[in-house]
Structure 1
Amino acid sequence: MLSDKEVDARNLNCPLPILRCKKALNELGPAQVLKIMATDPGSKKDFDAFCRQTGHSLLEMQETDGVFTFWIKKRTA
């Protein structure tokens, strides 16, 4: 999946991956896509909850060898 920005939050524990995500989304325009990689097992629940609470769209999540990759589309309003 294509993205407009990529953030590497591997080897960081909660809440740092979410904070990096929030900062990166603030730098993007409406409807742009952020790709973020994390290794914290709790990040699956964290990013799902973050997107539901903030109105961003969690487009996809993949797990490969303990690395969780999320594609998040920034809300338009």
Structure 2
Amino acid sequence: MTPDLILDCLGLRCPLPVIHLARRIGEVEVGGVVRVLADDPAARNDVPAWCRLKSHEYLGSDGTAHDVRRVQ
């Protein structure tokens, strides 16, 4: 899958990757995918939790790349 937007949050600690995601997800069309690159171990929990809270679809992770589909 090719993301519509890639956020390089490598080296940033919690909660900064989620803050960057929240600020920028509106830049993609509904149905678009944002890939968050984050090496902070907390991102494995934080990104999916944020998606549930904001009603976006968490598509999964390969370890450092977390894919989110904009739903609204």
State the TM-score, normalized to the length of structure 1: 0.87
1:19 maps to 19
How far does residue 47 in structure 1 lie from its aligned partner after superposition? 0.6
Structure 1 segments of 4 or more deviating over 2 A?
none
CA RMSD of aligned residues (A): 0.9
Measure, in 2, the Cα distance between the counterparts of 1:61 and 1:54: 18
The one-character-per-residue Cα deviations of 1:35-76 (angstroms, maximum 9, x if unpaired) are 11001101111011001110100112111xxxx11110001x
Map 1:38-49 onto structure 2 (within 5 A): 38-49=38-49
Count of residue pairs brought into register by the alignment: 72
| Structure 2 unaligned regions, length at least 5 | none
Identity between Structure 1 and Structure 2 (%)? 26
More strand by percentage = 1
Q: Looking at CA atoms only, which structure, 1 or 2, has the larger radius of gyration?
A: 1
1:2 maps to 2
| Structure 1 unaligned regions, length at least 5 | none
